[in-house]
Amino acid sequence: MDEQQIYLIRHGETEWSRSGRHTGRTDIPLTETGREQAEFLKPIFEDVKFAHILSSPLQRALETARLAGLGNRVETADDLKEWDYGDYEGITTREIRKSVPDWTVWTHPCPNGETIEQVAARADRVVQRVREINGDVAVFSHGHFLRVLAIRWLGMDPHAGKHFLLGTSTLSILSYEHEIPAIKTWNGPLITAACSVPWTRPSVPH
Q: Which amino acid is at 118?
A: Q
> Which position among 11, 52, 142, 206 bears the catalytic label?
11
Q: Give the Cα separation of 174 and 35 in Å (integer).
A: 25
Q: Give the Cα separation of 158 and 28 in Å (integer).
A: 27
Is 82 annotated as catalytic? yes
Q: Give the Cα separation of 38 and 67 in Å (integer).
A: 6
Strands (E) across the chain are located at: 6-10, 50-55, 74-76, 136-141, 171-177, 180-188
Q: Roughly how many angstroms between the first and final C-alpha of the chain, as a whole number? A: 40
Q: Give the Cα separation of 139 and 126 in Å (integer).
A: 10
Is 89 annotated as catalytic? no
> Which position among 13, 36, 63, 82 bears the catalytic label?
82
Q: Give the Cα separation of 146 and 56 in Å (integer).
A: 11
Catalytic (active-site) positions: 11, 82
